[in-house]
Amino acid sequence: MSDRDQALLDEAVKDIARLKKQRSSQLYLVWLRFKKNRLALVGFIMVCIVLFVAAFAPLLTPYDPYETDPFNRLKAPSRDHWLGTDE
């Protein structure tokens, strides 16, 4: 490879590195601005928790919401039903 080819290759590598750095630096700047705003960070965490609970809701509760149990209606809170039962 000639010196000219090597110089072009080095310049191309520098351009690619600069573009990658520019792209990642914009994302990094967005993250820094987001991290400074505590309210936005708390809101983001709350949205993530809600999405997690919604996605895994069938695994978190063992009871079918459409199944009725007439013998256990209107019971007080217990170990099985922390908030009690309704109609």
pLDDT (tens digit per residue) in 47-66: 999 999 999 988 887 777 78
Mean pLDDT to the nearest integer, 62-84: 82
**Rounded CA Rg of the chain:** 28
Q: What's the per-residue H, E or C state across the chain?
A: CCHHHHHHHHHHHHHHHHHHHHHHHHHHHHHHHHHHCHHHHHHHHHHHHHHHHHHCHHHHCCCCCCCCCHHHCCCCCCCCCCCCCCC
Count up the domains in the chain and report the number. 1
Residue 54 in domain: yes
Model pLDDT for residues 12-44, shown as the tens digit of each residue:
777 777 766 666 678 877 888 888 899 999 999
Domain range for 16 is 3-64
- Measured CA to CA, the distance from residue 58 to residue 22 in angstroms comes to 43
Would you say residue 70 lies in a domain?
no
Residue 85 inside a domain? The answer is no
27 assigned to some structural domain: yes
